Amino acid sequence: MPLNPTLKEWRGQRVWLIGASSGIGRALAQHLHAMGAHVIVSARQQAALDDFVSNHPGSTALPMDVTDPEAVHRTAMAVMDQGPLDLLCYCAGHYQPMRATDLDLSALVLHHEVNTVGALRVLAAILPHMLTRGSGHISLVSSVAGYRGLPLSLAYGPTKAALSNLAEALYLDLHAQGLGVSLINPGFVDTPLTAQNAFHMPALITPDEAARAIVRGWSAGDFEIHFPRRFTWWMKLLRLMPYRMYFPLIQRITGR
């Protein structure tokens, strides 16, 4: 039985994708536009958004920095003033490999500002409108890096764990109100963020493949949408391990 209302008919639906200048967000915007949705794209990079709109007639570009509270509120009000919002997908993300032996506080805080606090700012702005309407869907892009602590993930992993917990709490609070909530947990996707990784990334997929998996998950009414499953199921198994087994195994696998 689906945990969410199934999203199968996109024609005429208003969707707001935050973090859509590249990677998964842009690929999602392309797919939803092709299926007839009215796509609103936001990110910091004005040029990338303008390029998307010029190639996808009928879409709307609203540049926004999620670390700027006033900009988030102003942009959210502009979105809601134009009509009801059917889907919000928060794809904005920041990633810098980091270990505790080379801790950078300003970088740690930036990860939280972009990955977690930015999502809270958007939710605070749009939730009252969705609740009044009694419909709509909120989707947060987290990561399997949020399942458990991993090497080089000191800055990134905790923010994704927070997003996962946030999505679960939102579902429990909003399901009875008629709203859908989904959590997206990708494995390795070939994006500008993962291009920073100097290690082998198992089961690496393209943003287009990721977008197709997400759309399938929305169509099925899933709460958690994780992919590619040949990798993510192993990560789920690791999450069940007791620490005395997990820590030595991860150190042996990663060599760190």
Instruction: Give the active site residues.
Output: 156
CA separation (Å) from 115 to 6, 32, 38, 148, 256? 26, 23, 25, 17, 25
Point out which residues pair with 87 in neighbouring strands: 15, 137
Please list the alpha-helical segments (H only) found in the chain: 23-34, 46-55, 69-81, 105-112, 118-133, 156-174, 207-220, 229-240, 243-254
Other beta carbons less than 10 A from residue 106's beta carbon: 6
Distance, in Å, from the CA atom of 75 to the CA atom of 58, rounded to the nearest integer, reads: 18
> What single letter denotes the amino acid at residue 107?
A
